[in-house]
A and B are shown apart, each in its own frame.
Chain A
């Protein structure tokens, strides 16, 4: 009997409250929490899923089934058609034309806008001159002006220079409108670098360009990547400037996509449309998934404009 008593007390002490209360993984709170998060995640993923599934079905299957059901017979024909033979107006060479136009627009625009903005941000951070902050303030406030207000004057300016309707004109426009946010990004970054570095280089006799190329550039790779992510997605996704400033043969991918999907003539081929939509979204999506945390940093930087 005494043995049993001691055993009981000993057992009671061992299972009694000692140390922190272990967290239960399945608690009502956690079920609620993860439940909401999973439902939200499903809602956000749904359109991507529907796009994928629709693009892999044949038209007869789409007419019969519902948009959420997975394809019974997977076909890649819509993708091929969207890329190579879908028609916009008289051209029937698919989205490939728009894709290459977008590449030819995005690559030089990204390079030029970043080159201008990085040098400019560096000048604003380290080589201020009288009035530099005034111009910068106008630039940043200008970022909030609706594009519609400035479009027509730009059309006139581009027409005067003789580049209205060409890829060059559009590249200039992208460089202009990328300037406020990029300049802000680079200015803040260069201002956050230790001033001693700059001063030491000055004492050693280095000039404007020398300091920029040999000291600032090697230290600012991350911010260049952030700027690139911001610009590649921004310019690739642009629609308004593409419509306004180029002729149909130079239309970027987004404009061509809209023309293919929303054309009124012919039978609607929903699978081809969805394949074309995914193809257009593919570039920014790849940039997004590859860049991960840097993308978040880029939009956070973009968000603090003004």
Chain B
């Protein structure tokens, strides 16, 4: 207000000028990169760009080719299996660990530090460690065989049918600590009196969790779900490090398909079409959530 009085009646654009200057990077990022870049990719996914992006439209041709490609189908199947299982397992394991940690245990900090440290490591490190542990010649399989169970077979990384589960094991090791932490924060937010009331009524502990506490933690669950889900769609580094998509194409994922077509196969149109499909997947997850979270709140 004082600034306005001093300068007379300044131009509308110059009001609050410093704040606008400070926001220039954000405005540029929001408009040019996030809005502009996304639109650009979607538009060019309808062209037959090869080595360089060209504006010669071919309609839905790239998408037709995409859905006819066996490698893309495998990628989508893998993403679906990996996605569903990692959602279920990380929520269940994360919640159980958090519930155990919430029993006023000793060494809580030590346990939390242990459960969470993998989250500080990169997917590359995670993938390489588990590649080594699951190595058929030296890893778990050979150790158990050397204990006398010679027919034991656990070799996910070289068995096309189950390779995605090998990746899942590594991903769960890396990510459940985060889910545990979020759940624990949610559990700590539950009113102590609810527990007392449940105990007075003689409700067993597991029932209290299942029918009272979990429904009360709905917002925490939804937030966690969205975080895990948008992470799942992006999964890339882990696969590159652990299996490089192999054996064959058995552990390919959409993010890797995009990268390979854009930067290695020099078939930009396919890459754009595939990345637009990824965007669509995220939109299917995010839009209902945003609608429930923000649209609902405004109306209430």
Binding site for B on A (CB under 8 A): 33-34, 36-37, 40-41, 43-48, 50-51, 54, 62-63, 66-68, 116, 119-120, 122-124, 127-129, 132, 135-136, 138-139, 141-142, 144-154, 156-157, 175-176, 179, 183, 202, 205, 207-209, 233, 236-240, 243-244, 254, 257-258, 261-262, 270, 273-274, 277, 280-281, 284-285, 287-289, 292, 295-296, 299-300, 303-304, 306
Contacts and interface: CB of A to CB of B under 8 A. Distances in A.
A259 to B, nearest CB: 10
A292 B278 contact: no
B178 A299 contact: yes
Given A40-B97, A237-B122, A132 B23 contact: yes
Interface stretch (B70-78, B82-90, B152-160, B232-240): B232-240
A205 B2 contact: yes
Contacts of B244: 262
B295 interface: no
Range, interface on chain B: 35 or more
A218 B12 CA distance: 32
5 contacts: A138-B35, A152-B44, A152-B272, A288-B116, A303-B223
Contacts of A280: 122, 124-125
Nearest to B124: A254
Given A47-B129, A50-B129, A299-B119, A258 B124 contact: yes
Contacts of B114: 41, 44-45
Nearest to B38: A149
A243 to B, nearest CB: 8
A148 B278 contact: yes
Contact of B185 (A175, A209, A292, A300): A300
- Main secondary structure on B side of the interface with A: helix
Given A147-B234, A153-B33, 10 more contacts: A41-B114, A46-B133, A62-B138, A136-B30, A150-B41, A233-B120, A258-B241, A277-B129, A280-B125, A300-B182
A151 B225 CA distance: 25
Interface in B9-61: 15-16, 18-20, 22-23, 25-27, 29-38, 40-42, 44, 53
B95 interface: no
A185 B122 CA distance: 22
Interface in B124-138: 124-125, 128-133, 135, 138
Contact of A144 (B18, B29, B230): B230
A277 B27 contact: no
B29 A139 contact: yes
A40 B99 CA distance: 13
Given A150-B34, A152-B272, A50 B133 contact: yes
B105 A37 contact: yes
A257 B259 CA distance: 19
A303 B186 CA distance: 12
B166 interface: no
A26 to B, nearest CB: 13
A132 B23 CA distance: 8
